[in-house]
Amino acid sequence: MKIYLAGPDVFLDSFGATIFAAKKKLCALYGYVGISPMDGQLDTSGLAPFEQGVSIYAANIGHMRVCDAMIANMTPFRGISMDAGTAFEMGFMAAAGKAVLGYSNVPQSYAARAEAYYSGGRHEALDAYSAGTAIESFEMADNLMMAGAVHASGFEVVRNSVARGQELVALEGFEACLRQLHKRR
């Protein structure tokens, strides 16, 4: 069984090489094969920036198509929500009928983070125009589409508290997803 390793991990040092190696090792412990977005030999040199992005898109789609499941790093990234590219990938895998799992290393609910965003006036510099919009309060880790997809797959989003500064790299939540998957198979 192949598991797509989705998350903003790709934006870490060396495109997340260290963390993807650690995730693959954990996958192997459970008898799975981890597939990272960075796998394969993608040469984008000589391409214009937009075309580079298009090539990476096609490569990621190819990786997802060969996987049977995904474990998404849903930790908030550059805002109060998870990385939007990872959210896209959760939707892609859900539509393809693959198992969708995810973990967040920031345990608060989406509603709590959204309320802090407005009460702290943080929206003023980012999207002042969203002031007054309704905050969904479903006691979920992020927007209901992602939490709903994990639930529809028969799993639960893992919400973990980790040491400060370790939010993007701590792997306990990732391993808890592996255990959920292993228990069901």
Binding status of residue 50 toward its own copies by CB under 8 A:
yes
Q: From 3-11, 22-30, 172-180, give the range in contact with its own copies by CB under 8 A.
A: 3-11
Query: By CB under 8 A, is residue 87 in contact with its own copies?
Result: yes
Partners of 2 in beta bridges:
33
Report helix, strand or coil for 159.
strand
Cβ distance to its own copies smaller for residue 76 or 173: 76
- Residue 129 near its own copies by CB under 8 A: yes
CB nearer to its own copies: pick between 29 and 58? 58
Q: d(Cα 181, Cα 177) in Å, to the nearest integer?
A: 6
Position 108 contacts its own copies (CB under 8 A): no
Report DSSP state, residue 2: E
Pairwise CA distance, residues 48 & 55, whole Å: 11
Give the span between the Cα atoms of 127 and 131, in whole angstroms.
8
Query: Site for its own copies (CB under 8 A): which residue of 27, 36, 60, 104?
Result: 60
| Distance separating alpha carbons of residues 103 and 83, to the nearest angstrom | 12
We find the least distance from the C-beta atom of residue 103 to its own copies, in angstroms, to be 15
Tokens read off for 153 = 């797959």
Strands 158-159 and 99-104: parallel
Residue 2 binds to its own copies (criterion: CB under 8 A)? no
**Interface residue list for its own copies (CB under 8 A):** 8, 10-12, 15, 49-50, 52-54, 56-58, 60-61, 76-85, 87-96, 106, 114, 117, 120, 122-123, 125-127, 129-130, 133-140, 142-149, 151-152, 164-168
